[in-house]
Structure 1
Amino acid sequence: MDLRIFTEPQQGATYDTLLTVAKATEDLGFDAFFRSDHYLKMGEVDGLPGPTDAWITLAGLARETRRIRLGTLMTAATFRLPGVLAIQVAQVDQMSGGRVELGLGAGWFEEEHTAYGIPFPKEKFGRLEEQLEIVTGLWGTPPGETYDFHGTHYDLTGSPALPKPAQEKIPVLIGGHGAQRTPRLAARYADEFNMPFSSVEDSERQFGRVREAARAAGRDADELVLSNALVVCVGRDDQEVARRAAAIGREVDELRTNGLAGSPAEVVDKIGRYAEVGSRRFYLQVLDLADLDHLELIASQVQSQL
Structure 2
Amino acid sequence: MLKYELIPEQLLHEGSIAQHNLFTPELCTDEIVLLTHTEEYLTKLKEQTLSAKEQRHIGFPQSLALTERELIITQGTIDCCTYAIENGVAMNVAGGTHHAFADRGEGFCLLNDFATAANYLLHQQKTKQILIVDLDVHQGNGTAKLFEQNEKVFTFSMHGAHNYPFHKETSDLDIGLKDGTDDSIYLPLLKNTLDMLINKVKPEFVFYLSGVDILETDKFGKLKVSMQGCKQRDEIVFSKLQKHNIPCTVAMGGGYSADVKIIVEAHCNTFRVAKDVFGLN
The interval holding the TM-score normalised by the smaller chain is 0.3 to 0.5
Structure that is richer in strand per residue = 1
Indicate the structure (1 or 2) with the bigger Cα radius of gyration: 1
